Structures are given as C-alpha cells and as structure tokens.
C-alpha cells in the first residue's frame, strides 16, 4: 500500500523530470488525475475532480504546459469542451505524434483513447497536403453496453 503510493509518486516525478518541468504540487496533482483515469478529462473535470480546489488560472496554465511538452494531447470534439488525454506515443516539445483514434460514448460521454487502432491513411484531393489526422468515433462504450 505504502509501496504502491511511493511508486506512483515516483512515476509522477519521473514524467515531470523527463520533460524538464519543475516539480510542483499542482503539476503533480493534475498529472495524477490523468494517470488514475481511463478516459480523457475536460478542463472543468479537473477543476471539480481535484480534492482541493485549484485556481482556474493554474489549471489552464498547467494544461497548456503539458500540451506544449507533449505530456497530454487535445481531443477535438463537437461540443465545445476541449478534452485532454495522456500521450502514449512519441510526443515531445517538438511535436505531437499521436496516431490512435478516439471514442466518445453517447451515453456516459466518457472519451477514450483507443491506442491500438491506428488512423488509416487518406488520399487527399490534388493540392492538399496532410500533416496530421484526427479521428473520433461516437457510439456506445464497453461500460454502457
């Protein structure tokens, strides 16, 4: 128990250090939320979910930092609520490199990264050149079935 907690804590610090970020309470707590979470988190979730309340500005700035560093990525949605999820591919300050698809449940609205499914290649019309493909599937998830 104590061991597990220590390990989780170590993992947090390791991730932050790898990205040359200073170790702060906010970053640890917000990152912790992502690690113990299956799906993606919207800004609002984070503000509420955290036991103690963060300043809204801190959450915004921390998420921005995480996105810049390639720790989390943004999932595009149709409902004006940006969702963030941990990057599992090779993301860094240089650029994000997520190629998996996302799944949003119609029922519980949880957003999942389906890491094993790779976005297919697309043949674009003449004149267009693609850099990145985002794919979001809507439907019913494994828990709501």
Partner DNA sequence: ACAAAAAAAGCAACATTGTTGCAAAAGAAA
Partner DNA sequence: TTTCTTTTGCAACAATGTTGCTTTTTTTGT
* Interface with a copy of itself in residues 92-111 (CB under 8 A): 101, 103, 106
Q: Could you say whether residue 77 binds DNA (CB under 7 A)?
A: no
CA neighbor of 66 nearest in space, from 111, 33, 19, 102: 19
Task: Find the part of the chain contacting DNA (CB under 7 A) among 53-61, 104-112, 113-121, 130-138.
Answer: 53-61
**Would you call 113 helix, strand, or coil by DSSP?**
strand
Q: Say whether residue 57 binds a copy of itself (CB under 8 A).
A: no
Give the integer Cα–Cα distance in Å for 65 and 27: 9
Yes or no: say if 50 and 23 are a contact pair by the CB < 8 Å rule.
Answer: no
Residue closer to a copy of itself by CB (options 12, 70) is 70
Residue 127 contacts a copy of itself per CB under 8 A: yes
Site membership for DNA, residue 62 (CB under 7 A): yes
By beta-carbon proximity to a copy of itself, the closer residue of 6 and 76 is 76
Site for DNA in 11-30 (CB under 7 A): 21-27
Q: State how far the Cα of 130 lies from the Cα of 64, in Å rounded to an integer.
A: 25
**Residue 114: beta bridge partners?**
101
Evaluate whether 111 touches 83 at the Cβ level (below 8 Å): yes
Residues 6 or more apart in contact with residue 69 via CB below 8 angstroms: 19, 21, 92, 93
Residue 57 sits in the site that holds DNA (CB under 7 A): yes
Q: Annotate each residue in 80-119 with x if it binds DNA (CB under 7 A) or - if it does not, as one string.
A: xxx-------------------------------------
Binding site for a copy of itself (CB under 8 A): 74-80, 82, 101, 103, 106, 114, 116-117, 120, 122-142, 145
């Amino acid at each position: 128990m104590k061991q597990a907690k220590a390990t989780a804590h170590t993992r947090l610090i390791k991730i932050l250090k790898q990205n040359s970020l200073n170790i702060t309470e906010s970053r640890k707590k917000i990152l912790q939320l992502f690690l113990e979470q299956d799906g993606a988190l919207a800004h609002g979730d984070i503000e509420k979910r955290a036991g103690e309340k963060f300043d809204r500005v801190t959450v915004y700035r921390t998420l921005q930092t995480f996105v810049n560093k390639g720790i989390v990525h943004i999932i595009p949605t149709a409902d004006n609520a940006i969702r963030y999820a941990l990057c599992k591919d090779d993301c860094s300050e240089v650029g994000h490199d997520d190629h998996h698809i996302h799944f949003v449940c119609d029922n519980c609205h949880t957003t999942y990264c389906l890491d094993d499914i790779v976005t297919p290649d697309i043949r674009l019309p003449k004149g267009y050149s693609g850099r990145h493909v985002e794919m979001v599937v809507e439907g019913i998830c494994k828990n709501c079935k």
